[in-house]
Amino acid sequence: MSSSVLISEVGPRDGLQSIASVMPTAAKRRWLDALHAAGLREIEVGSFVPARLLPQMADVAEIVAHALTLPGLRVLALVPNVRGAEAAITAGAHKISLPISASEAHSLANVRKTPEAMVEELRAVAALRRERAPQMGVEVGLSTAFGCTLAGRVDEDAVLRLAVACAEAGADEVGLSDTAGMANPAQVRRLFTRLRAELGSRAGAAHLHNTRGLGLANCLAAFDVGVRTFDASLGGLGGCPYAPGASGNVVTEDLVFMFEAMGVDTGIDIHQLLAARTPLREGLPGEAVYGMLAEAGLPKGFQ
């Protein structure tokens, strides 16, 4: 099995859109620069959504333009529909992600459409991509795949059927997201094993939350069954505004430390990654950030 992983930083999107504070554009640029300097090579930099709904994302096109100047960086953006995809294509994003939820209750709260309607939206986005930007990647992270704060248990067979439908509709990759922070390691192993059996190389990232303290354990469980791409947020910033109580993305610094301590290469300089917390704090004064590594420090002699 591969001894390297890709850490996809989602703080500038998932983190910033989950809090009331608005980080100034100049501060976002400094934060992106610091993340890139630490070695992160895929960053979800924002969402192409109406500014009246998410003022935190009003400058997303400008942020994409800045991110495109950073060498070797894959610039990812979230889009909820065809209109968002058109804007992302115009801005030049390398990859787009659609928020399709396995829970109908969460889907209606989040995007005001059923999961089935979102699959049709994905089909339209994939057609637009073929026509206007064939080089652009399209991925789906299935939200609430492990449970929903609004609806409770989510049927695993339904999750797999939805994943297959997304792949058939044109997604290059389909990952699983623990939006509500309800997953446990046994469940993560089981569902990602089934996802990989269904989709093969099109099985995508693990997007896991630390809401109930199982974030790293769940990441390790996903790694053990072959997942090699993990979403994480610097300082544990973020959650989901439409999943009550679902705070706490997996902390990028803690995840990188875990993998590097295991001898799994992340390509990230952990010292510079910790330093990237400074522009985050400066850009969001008063906002809480988290992380056990930042609190305890690196062990003596850590290489």
Provide CB contacts within 8 A for 116, sequence distance 6+.
none
What six digits make up the tokens of 195? Answer: 């996802």
Catalytic residue among 148, 166, 219, 240: 240
Question: What is the C-alpha separation between 254 and 274, in angstroms, rounded?
Answer: 10
Q: CB 3: neighbour CB atoms within 10 A?
A: 10
Distance of CA 260 to CAs 34, 111, 210, 268, Å?
Answer: 20, 37, 19, 9
Cβ atoms of 100 and 143 closer than 8 Å: yes
H runs (alpha helix) in the chain: 25-37, 60-67, 82-91, 104-111, 115-132, 156-169, 185-199, 215-224, 252-261, 270-275, 277-283, 292-296
Both structure tokens of 227: 């997942």
Q: Contact at 8 Å (CB) between 94 and 44? A: no
Residue 281: how many CB atoms within 10 A of its CB?
14
Active site residue 148: no
Hey, what are 150's tokens? 């609004």
> Residue 6: which H helix or E strand, with range?
strand 6-9
Would you give the DSSP letter of residue 13?
A: I
Sequence length of the chain is 303
Quote the CA–CA distance of 286 and 266 in Å, as a whole number.
30
| Amino acid (one-letter) located at 31 | W
Q: Which residues are catalytic?
A: 240
